[in-house]
Amino acid sequence: MKKKRLPIQDSLPHATAVIEASEPDGSQIADMPWMANPATTTPTAVPPDMGDDEGAGLLGSRKQLKAARYEAEEAAQYEAELKARYAEIDALIATYISDAKAAEEALPIITSSIMSDFESFERYCANERLPPLPADPRAVAIFLCDWADGLADAMRLRDSISIVHRRMKEADPTLDLVVRALLPQIATDENENKQQQAEKELN
């Protein structure tokens, strides 16, 4: 009677060949299916002890939370110290800047009339490709020459440009010599025009 061949016997020649061809450390053997152990193929991640300072959770470790709280308290303390220090500095320099502060607070507000004058200056500068704020004194001078209708009109436009610049904490271009020297000339031209007009009416 012929003996029945067991399935394992068919695997023995292949297993023997693998063993003979494997590296000394048996790395190829460990890769064979029959060497796999379901209990060890997938490592199990063991969470750290949540009672430990190094334990992690949704909100991070206790040590990290403690460090964050410390940094927040330190930042708040520094802000309070900084505020107190600036208050001391303000008290020290208050007497030295009181005149300048009073002069700034005394500046006229920007009314609709002043804004209308400055918008005219802005449109003029846009056409001439010149910056209106801060403006160059030469831009103000040429604007007054081309736009002003007499001395009173020129002075009003000059004052409007001056107020807007000072309110915006920009250098006042109307204080420049080129603007200051222009106004007397505008006044002279206006008087001459009036005289010429009067002579024409008499004739």
Same domain, 178 and 100: no
Give the Cβ contact number of residue 143 at 10 Å: 23
Same domain, 117 and 165: yes
Q: How far apart are CA 1 and CA 164, in angstroms?
A: 119
Same domain, 89 and 135: no
- Summarised one tens digit per residue, pLDDT across range 59-73 is 557 778 777 888 888
pLDDT of 34 above 50: no
Domain count, the chain: 2
In a domain, 38, yes or no: no
Same domain, 97 and 116: no
Strand partners, 135: 132
Same domain, 122 and 188: yes
In a domain, 84, yes or no: yes
- Summarised one tens digit per residue, pLDDT across range 154-194 is 999 999 999 999 999 899 999 999 999 999 888 888 777 77
In a domain, 123, yes or no: yes
Task: Provide the domain limits for residue 83.
Answer: 60-106
- Give the SS3 label for residue 135: strand
Same domain, 96 and 169: no
Average pLDDT over residues 39-43: 51
Contacts 24+ apart (CB under 8 A), 113-116: 113/160, 114/159, 114/160, 114/163, 114/164, 115/164
Same domain, 116 and 191: yes
In a domain, 47, yes or no: no
In a domain, 101, yes or no: yes
